[in-house]
Structure 1
Amino acid sequence: MTIQEMILKFDLCDLFYDNEYGLEKEGLRVLEKNDYVTMTDHPSSLGDPLSHPYIQTDYGEAQPELITPPFSTLFQSLDFLKLAASVLYDGMNEDEYLWPFSIPPHLPADSAIRISESTSSEVKEYREYTGEKYGRSRQLMCGFHINCSLNSEFILALYEKQENIDNLKSFQNYLYMKLSQNFLRYQWILIYLFGATPLAGQDFIEQNKMIENKAVQFPIRSIRNSSYGYFNGTDVKVRYDQLENYIFDIEENVQLKRLREEREYYGDVRLKGGYGKQLRELLQSGISYLEFRSMDLNPYSPTGLEKEQVQFIHIFLMYLLWIEETHAIEVVDEGMKRTLVTAEEHPHAESQFAEDGIAFIEGMIDMLEQIGKKEDLEAVKNYQKAFNDPHLTVAGRLLDDLAGPDSFIELGHRWGQGYKKEFLSRPLNLSSFGEFPQEKEEEVFEMIRKGVSWEKLSLYFE
């Protein structure tokens, strides 16, 4: 039987639906007076950004990264992210705000961009190396990483019903590899709908020599996912057909000095698990979750992700496991080519693959009807409309707004300042986790600021 046949026959719909999600959001602290990326230190009130569990820094000192623990829904992850963002704003300098776009605003010279300070000399030295190789400003592009872990009860139940794989760990790896392959095959749909970097400021354009590539005509759907994105060289090839091949290819790229070390591989999907930092440990532990890395920040939301968008992504990932296609390497490569083509299309142009996108979403709708999750149908159908009207995509909406008197920088300033006021003025909201007295909400806020471990903090949410 196929996966979808087993889900329906053995009533596994609820287990199939309930995955665990965590979010990682990169941002930039920017000066209000001139919209330059700030040169100030990470807020000292938030402790060590290398060890804080929820608020760290990414590549740049001005690049905070918000990290959520895993939750049973993406909605809860988004709500926790709002809490962490409120804590971050509370600790920031009064003359700074968080930039709402993935592409940076005004920048100093590339060599003057501050690399994140770290108590680890090894981390600092590695960041200096990547700055030299890829450019510092390119690494200030921000976005979302979505971590997804399949329901362990679902994996076990499905394993016990199938007859082809006789080892639970191998079966779990099979499911995650299938999800990885299908994501790479179909992520162009997410880029079409949610790509949100059609334009860039002059500083970023000049530092990354974007004007020299006449083949790419701006605006486009997603600079971050285009040939100007933060990617490894084209000589770095990694297969996703089997876990062993994924590990072998990354290790070989390190041996051939195409990569300095394993973590320099910047694939759109990373396989996660293991007990340490070495990829080879995945062979013993098995894959425990996937990290999806291609989402632009959505500037129409204070958190960078709209609620309906999160709902769609959840269903999208479920459908990647539901469909029975098993992609050969060349078909996955074709999907990755579609991602690049889609990223570099004009935001108001019809997708070259619109017919396939509409059919894919029709399949999502059919899946929801079969598993009895009709409450999600409206959100999915709304996004299907965007394949008939590119103006409904995030990049399409942005281009309409940028066509007015506001430049890219002016629009980012206005929206960013508005979001800052929201985060600093609105009360905390923990309603998605249950009923919280106000004094408990304040305790949670303070525990996040201090970086109290999730093991202790989770007691409040349970």
Structure 2
Amino acid sequence: MTRSFNASLERFQLSEFKPAWAKIQRGIEKESLRVTPEGRLAQTPHPVGMGSALTHPYVTTDYSEALVEMITPVSDSIDDCLSFLDDLHKFVYQNLPEGERLWVSSMPCLLESEAQIPLAQYGKSNMGRLKTLYREGLGHRYGRLMQTIAGIHYNFSMPDTFWDDFHSLSGSNETMQAFRTRKYLHLIRNFHRYSWLLVYLFGASPAVCRCFTDDRNHDLQALDAATLYKPDATCLRMGDLGYKSDAQRSIFVCYNDLNNYIDSLYSALSTPYAPYQRIGMKRDDHHLQINTNLLQLENEFYATIRPKRVGDGKRPLQLLKESGIQYIEVRALDLNPFLPLGIDAEQIRFLDAFLVYCLLSDSPACVETENHEIEQNLALTVNRGREAGLELQRKGKPVTLKDWSTELLQDIGHSASLLDHAHETGAYSQALAAQQTKVDDPTQTPSAKILQALQDNNQPFCKFGMQHSEGVQQGFLSSPLLPARQDHFTATSAESLTAQAQAEASDELDFESFLTQWNDYRL
């Protein structure tokens, strides 16, 4: 798997790869459900000790009040990023209501009814109420069960010094903003082509609690009285039980240029959709959704990867239109229940090598026929990824997942070589070799290990999840925060509560007027 530095430069037609280019900017957003000792979803509100879910920079909620989201600052150090995430877990565990713990799996715990999934609450400000209403709408559109699925989002960008030099080396006459945006779209197209590989290597959701499928069509098999599964599945979270819907399938988003992407999403944001019109906007003066369009907000479009830009006071599409792509967000990663943080340094090194490979490799424009092939490859890997001899489609021709994986890993070895050389290490190539082991032996994948543990211990999925959740909790509680970090988190939580109060006091419009103005948004 190891490649020489010069051969790797030649592979990507580079004359150099400076150490400063490898200072990748990364951040992790990790979701985890709060659960009771019995393995049921917590019904308690977001703990006040964690601060305001609306304004806290590190700890918030996603769909449900019980779905905690931990966010690291941007860092060019893998160790620092993971250390901060580790400390965030300690802080969250300190502030959990007595008896509660964090669920370590992506697929949820015991859920008796949708009524027991409390919507996230963000206070009385117009923006806080909008965030809760958005989640109310998601529940009506897709069901609340789907929204309890958790995952890891990996934010990635190359450093400014890379872009300055790469722009010059490429001989581009574009502005830096246009060049960077074009290359990030280049990365995104390749990511879509090869994302099935991430699902195979890191998928960790081959089984679910039976209660998760109540009143839903599925083709899962019974592992035991309480557990459903697919024998060769890798990542059911990315399949039909996860973030899929007929409405979303009707949206074709092309990543050939930014305007096309923006126009596609803006059209969905402004196009009424009959099933959502039947839901309506209100029932007995209670708001049901932000609007009745195909998408309420940009983030409702469930993609495995998103182009992103940060900024206050403007909509995501407006920020992209004005300033271009700043970073990308990978959204196809399960929580690994065998890892305390759900992710580790080896996986991050592989992700970095994979994303650099997607950036530097040729990336043809996408067409609808290829998009169909990409979707089929992903679905096959989700449902049957570990099946012996499984064939995917590559440019209209069959190729086994094993052979294509091996070819891809060998080629990704070139980007790993560049990163190894820049960091004066062999860790990136070692991370790649660890993934080849999973390709050679599917029993080494997280999905296979989970099923093996369920079968060896005669454990239902929920009991497996509780056992690992308890072990992780004990580990974090036995290692207290250093005083300086403890003080920082405590102060940040207090500041976030003050910021929420200020937001609530500063609103000048009533919510009805605010919502009307929000829905009148024009690019």
The TM-score, its normalising length taken from structure 2, stands at 0.79
Residue 245 (str. 1) matches residue 260 (str. 2): yes
Higher-Rg structure is: 2
1:11 to 16, 23, 40: 16
Contact persistence 2:309–2:316 (CA under 8 A)? no
Given the alignment, which residue of 277, 298, 306 partners 1:262? 298
Q: What displacement does 1:12 show?
A: 2.8
| Cα shift readout 1:170-210 (whole Å, capped 9, x = no counterpart) | 10111110111111111110000111100100110215343
- Cα displacement (A) at 1:281: 3.1
Counterpart position of 2:370: 331
- Secondary structure, counterpart of 2:343 in structure 1: coil
In the alignment, the residues of structure 1 paired with residue 88 and residue 218 of structure 2 have an alpha-carbon distance, to the nearest angstrom, of 34
**Aligned to 1:297, what secondary structure does the other structure show?**
coil
Contact 2:17 2:418 in 1 (8 A): no
1:161 counterpart = 2:169: yes
Change in Cα spacing, 1:346 to 1:72, as seen in structure 2 (3 Å) is: closer
Q: Distance in 1 between matches of 2:74 and 2:429?
A: 25
Corresponding residue number in structure 1 for 2:405? 357
What corresponds to 2:236 in structure 1? 223
Letter in structure 2 aligned against 1:396: A
Assess, with a 3 A threshold, how the Cα gap between structure 1 residues 212 and 339 changes in structure 2: closer, same or farther. closer
Letter in 2 for 1:222: C
1:96-150 alpha-carbon deviations (Å, 9 max, x no partner): 1111110111113113321112212222222111101110011000001111121
Cα shift at 1:152: 0.9
Aligned with 1:200: secondary structure? strand
- The Cα shift of 1:452 comes to 7.2
Amino acid at match of 1:254: L
Contact 2:90-2:480 within 8 A present in 1 as well: no
In structure 2, list runs of 5 or more residues that go unmatched. 1-7, 223-227, 273-293, 392-400, 498-523
Whether contact under 8 Å (1:100, 1:415) holds in the other structure is: yes
Greater alpha carbon shift after TM alignment, 368-377 vs 103-112 = 368-377
Question: Which 4+ stretches in 1 moved above 6 angstroms?
Answer: none
Shift of 1:256: 2.2
Secondary structure at the counterpart of residue 28 of structure 1: strand
The superposition leaves residues 191-250 of structure 1 with CA deviations (integer Å, 9 ceiling, x where unpaired) of 001111001001102153435999x97242111111221135211111111111000101
- Report the alpha carbon displacement of residue 262 of structure 1 after superposing the two structures with TM: 2.4
Paired residues of 1:86 and 1:423 also in contact (CA < 8 A): yes
Q: Give yes or no for contact 1:54–1:451 (8 Å, CA) kept in 2.
A: no
1:342 aligns with 2:355: no
Paired residues for 1:21-32 under 5 Å: 21-32=26-37
Asked if 1:77 corresponds to 2:81, the answer is yes
Alignment of 1:263-282 (within 5 A): 263-273=299-309, 275=311, 276-282=314-320
C-alpha distance 189-75 of structure 1, shift in aligned 2 (>3 A): farther
The 3-state SS of whatever aligns with 2:384 is: coil
CA distance in 2, matches of 1:391, 1:163: 47
Rounded to whole Å, the distance in 2 between the matches of 1:333 and 1:281 is 29
Aligned to 2:467: 414
Letter in 1 for 2:256: D
1:181–1:332 contact (8 Å) kept in structure 2:
no
Relative to structure 2, which stretch is displaced further, 314-323 or 275-284? 275-284
Query: Residues 53-91 of structure 1: CA distance to partner in whole angstroms, max 9, x if unpaired?
Result: 111011011111001111113432222111111111000
Q: Does 1:114 align with 2:162?
A: no
Q: Select which of 447, 450, 472 maps to 1:395.
A: 447
Q: Distance in 2 between matches of 1:375 and 1:332?
A: 34
Q: What per-residue deviation string (whole Å, max 9, x for no partner) do you get for residues 29-71 of structure 1?
A: 1001x21101111111122111111110110111110011111
Residue of structure 2 in register with 1:49 after alignment:
53
Q: Could you tell me which amino acid in structure 2 is paired with residue 186 of structure 1?
A: Y
CA distance in structure 2 between the aligned counterparts of 1:186 and 1:277, rounded to whole angstroms: 30
Structure 2 CA distance, aligned partners of 1:327 and 1:153? Answer: 27
SS in structure 1 opposite 2:484? helix
Separation in 1, partners of 2:316, 2:411: 38
3-state DSSP class of the match of 1:287?
coil
Q: Secondary structure at the match of 1:203?
A: helix
The structure-2 alpha-carbon separation of the partners of 1:85 and 1:62, relative to structure 1 and needing over 3 Å to count, comes to same
User: 1:404-427 CA distances to partner (integer Å, 9 max, x unpaired)?
Assistant: 222111111111001000111114
Q: Tell me how large the CA RMSD over aligned residues is.
A: 2.5
Match of 2:185 among 177, 185, 189: 177
What are the ranges of 5 or more consecutive residues in structure 1 without an aligned counterpart? 429-437, 454-462
Which is worse superposed, 291-300 or 320-329? Answer: 320-329
- Asked if the contact 2:22–2:158 (Cα under 8 Å) also holds between the matched residues in 1, the reply is no
Paired with 1:451 and 1:223, the residues of 2 have a C-alpha distance of 39
Which residue identity is paired with 2:145?
Answer: S
How far apart are 1:290 and its partner, in Å? 0.8
Superposed displacement of residue 279, structure 1: 0.2
Whole-Å separation in 1 of the counterparts to 2:417 and 2:326: 29
Aligned residues of 2:40 and 2:109 also touching (Cα < 8 A): yes
CA contact 1:74–1:314 (8 Å) conserved in 2: no
- Judge which range, 230-239 or 55-64, deviates more: 230-239
Letter of the structure 1 residue corresponding to residue 156 of structure 2: C
Instruction: Check whether the contact 1:272–1:290 (CA below 8 A) recurs between aligned residues.
Output: yes
Residue pair 1:102, 1:297 contacting (<8 A) in 2 also: yes
Please, which moves more after superposition, 315-324 or 55-64? 315-324
Q: Distance in 1 between matches of 2:358 and 2:373?
A: 16
> How many percent of aligned residue pairs carry the same amino acid?
28
- CA separation in 2, counterparts of 1:21 and 1:349? 35
Whether contact under 8 Å (1:38, 1:62) holds in the other structure is yes
Q: Could you tell me whether the CA contact under 8 Å between 2:106 and 2:149 is conserved in 1? A: yes
> How far apart are residue 280 of structure 1 and its match?
3.2
Measure, in 1, the Cα distance between the counterparts of 2:213 and 2:305.
27
